[in-house]
Amino acid sequence: MELTIYAGAVNRDHVHMLIGIPPHISVSKAVQYLKGKSSHKLLAEFPGLKKRYWGQHLWGRGYWVESSGNVTDEVWKKYIEDQKPEEPDDSFKVV
């Protein structure tokens, strides 16, 4: 979908991402795509999640979006980097 992920931080109950979305793709479609693909990949890679979320959705319905018009990408990257927990919640790593 031509999405570019510039930065990200994973916490136990939410994810922060700085994403470049082409103007012809709506934000809601981009979020739907990211949640769908990541859910499919996580459920395939970690069988324990299938048991835990059987019949349910891995991701919640909501999301929060902010455009970066008046703030530089470096400021957003720093903000996202600061959102990472001091100590990892578990052995989960984003590569």
The ranges assigned to domains in the chain are 4-82
Q: Decide: pTM greater than 0.95.
A: no
The CA-atom distances, in angstroms, between 64 and each of 28, 67, 89 are 10, 10, 22
CB < 8 Å & 24+ apart, contacts of 28-33 = 29/1, 30/1, 30/3, 31/63, 31/65, 33/1, 33/3
pLDDT digits (tens, 9 = 90+) for 1-28: 899 988 888 887 788 888 999 999 999 9
- 1 residue type, one letter: M
Please tell me the predicted confidence (pLDDT) of residue 91.
64
Looking at the annotation, which residues are catalytic? 79
pLDDT digits (tens, 9 = 90+) for 21-47: 999 999 999 999 999 998 888 888 888
| Per-residue pLDDT at 66 exceeds 60 | yes
